[in-house]
């Protein structure tokens, strides 16, 4: 290993020794009631849930430098919005690696925060063969995890259950292997809504940024797609609606989309909202007929047994517009969902 590589790994190791990811538990009795509306005929009840997916660009030095100011601003802006009652109900964070990124999430004002896989979180994947080709030791494939997965879910409502899993050393490629990337679940209870909502968050293997050839990083991404699908199958309650968001790293890659879609029969928010007849208010700029191909940041959804979910509004956050300046190399992607259920379906008090 070269002196430069040793220096870089040592610097990243120092980053890994920073504060623990934020964890915050909200008491059920402290939860605000979800505003519930009855239909004109009294047959159906509805409520809304807004979910933001946001890659913080929270890499530490030497991968990134000078990010502390922007990360602090992210936490302060979310906290101010939360105090004013205008913040998203739920935020899915990715790249919460550096100390400044963890502080930003902790400072965001949310009363419930669940972190994702830690550096030492094991993978539940069965034994897999090595990726095709030779491991690139100087590109992070030395079998050493220096960082956790960088995931967290923050919520206005109580998080009543969590689960997480790491993708594992044989489902990663290149520099992505330095972080213990994976997938997580936070089950959100909204007082007044009859069932919880299962919300998933992930950050999948990058392409060019991984530093290794396309066939290798694509194979790792495909393995992660399978792992995420199996994790959802193990942890999802089919009675509850489901929302799955994150940084999927599929922009401009038909091959990755094809592999991912083979294992995830979920509905993509972009595909619904691109149809003018869908009743989804699009408050962001989309180009072409397939705007989902132009972004890494996506959300998918699925109905519960008696409680349905559909997107009713999509918008960008922290994109240089009215919601605030660009504070990351990703814009935030905010989706407002309508939850609908039979009015006769009684909600359980509290959580």
* Pairing state between β 242-247 and 308-317: unpaired
SS3 195: coil
Q: What is the mean pLDDT of residues 26-48?
A: 93
Report how far residue 156's alpha carbon sits from residue 215's, in angstroms, rounded to the nearest whole number. 41
pLDDT tens digits along 262-276:
999 999 999 999 999
Local confidence band at 17 (pLDDT 50, 70, 90 cut-offs)? low
pLDDT tens digits along 291-331:
999 999 999 999 999 999 999 999 999 999 888 899 999 99
- Give the rounded percent of residues in the chain with a pLDDT score beyond 70: 92
Local confidence band at 189 (pLDDT 50, 70, 90 cut-offs)? very high
Domain that holds residue 205: 3-342
Report how far residue 47's alpha carbon sits from residue 339's, in angstroms, rounded to the nearest whole number. 5
Report how far residue 218's alpha carbon sits from residue 256's, in angstroms, rounded to the nearest whole number. 7
Domain total of the chain: 1
Residue 268 counted as domain residue: yes
Residue 110 counted as domain residue: yes
User: Where are any strands of DSSP class E within the chain?
Assistant: 37-38, 44-58, 90-96, 112-115, 152-155, 159-166, 182-188, 197-203, 242-247, 267-268, 281-283, 297-302, 308-317, 332-342
pLDDT at 13 over 60: no
Residue 246 counted as domain residue: yes
pLDDT at 4 over 50: no
Q: What is the mean pLDDT of residues 131-154?
A: 88
Place of tokens 């213990």: 180
* Res 5: pLDDT: 46
Residue 310 counted as domain residue: yes
pLDDT tens digits along 86-103:
999 999 999 999 999 999
Place of tokens 């690696």: 97
pLDDT at 61 over 80: no
Residue 164 counted as domain residue: yes
Report how far residue 188's alpha carbon sits from residue 129's, in angstroms, rounded to the nearest whole number. 36
pLDDT tens digits along 242-294:
999 999 999 999 999 999 999 999 999 999 999 999 999 999 988 878 999 99
Question: 156, 26 in Cβ contact below 8 A?
Answer: no
Residue 349 counted as domain residue: no
pLDDT at 161 over 80: yes
Q: What is the mean pLDDT of residues 211-235?
A: 94
* Res 7: pLDDT: 42
More confident residue, 342 or 7: 342
Report how far residue 299's alpha carbon sits from residue 303's, in angstroms, rounded to the nearest whole number. 14
334 beta partners? 52, 315
pLDDT, mean over the chain? 91
Residue 348 counted as domain residue: no
* Res 1: pLDDT: 41
Question: Which CATH number characterizes residue 90's domain?
Answer: 3.60.10.10
Helix or strand (DSSP H, E) at 74: helix 68-84
What is the SS3 string spanning 289-330? Answer: CCHHHHCCEEEEEECCCCCEEEEEEEEEECCCCCCCCCCCCC
Q: What is the pTM of this model?
A: 0.93
Q: What is the mean pLDDT of residues 189-199?
A: 96
Q: Which of 70-84, 120-134, 178-192, 209-223 has the lowest mean pLDDT?
A: 120-134
Report how far residue 70's alpha carbon sits from residue 245's, in angstroms, rounded to the nearest whole number. 23
């Amino acid at each position: 290993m070269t002196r430069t590589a040793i220096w870089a790994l040592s610097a990243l190791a120092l980053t890994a020794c920073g504060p623990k990811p934020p964890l915050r538990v909200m008491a059920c009795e402290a939860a605000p009631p979800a505003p519930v509306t009855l239909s004109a005929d009294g047959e159906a009840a509805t409520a809304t849930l807004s979910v933001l997916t946001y890659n913080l660009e929270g890499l530490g030095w030497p991968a990134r430098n000078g990010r502390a100011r922007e990360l602090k601003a992210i936490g302060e802006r979310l906290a101010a919005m939360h105090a004013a009652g205008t913040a998203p109900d739920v935020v899915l964070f990715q790249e919460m690696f550096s100390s400044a990124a963890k502080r930003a999430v902790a400072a965001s004002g949310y009363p419930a925060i669940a972190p994702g896989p830690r550096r030492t979180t094991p993978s539940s994947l069965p034994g897999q063969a090595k990726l095709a080709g030779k491991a690139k030791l100087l590109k992070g494939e030395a079998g050493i995890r220096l960082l956790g997965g960088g995931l967290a879910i923050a919520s206005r409502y109580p998080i009543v259950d969590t689960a997480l899993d790491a993708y594992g050393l044989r489902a990663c490629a290149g520099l992505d292997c330095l972080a213990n990337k994976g997938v997580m679940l936070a089950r959100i209870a909204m007082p007044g809504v009859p069932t919880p909502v299962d919300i998933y968050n992930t950050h999948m293997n990058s392409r060019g940024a991984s530093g290794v050839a396309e066939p290798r990083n694509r194979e790792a991404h495909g393995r992660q797609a399978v792992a995420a699908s199996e994790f959802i199958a193990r942890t999802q309650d089919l009675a509850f609606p489901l929302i799955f968001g994150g940084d999927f790293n599929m922009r401009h890659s038909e091959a990755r989309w094809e592999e991912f879609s083979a294992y995830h029969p979920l509905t993509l928010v972009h595909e619904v909202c691109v149809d003018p007849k869908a009743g989804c208010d699009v408050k962001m700029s989309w180009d072409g007929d397939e705007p989902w191909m132009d972004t890494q940041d996506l959300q998918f959804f699925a109905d519960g047994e008696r409680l349905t979910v559909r997107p009713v509004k999509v918008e960008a956050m922290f994109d240089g517009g009215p919601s605030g300046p660009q504070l990351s190399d990703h814009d935030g992607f905010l989706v407002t969902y309508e939850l609908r259920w039979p009015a006769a379906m009684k909600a359980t008090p509290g959580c």
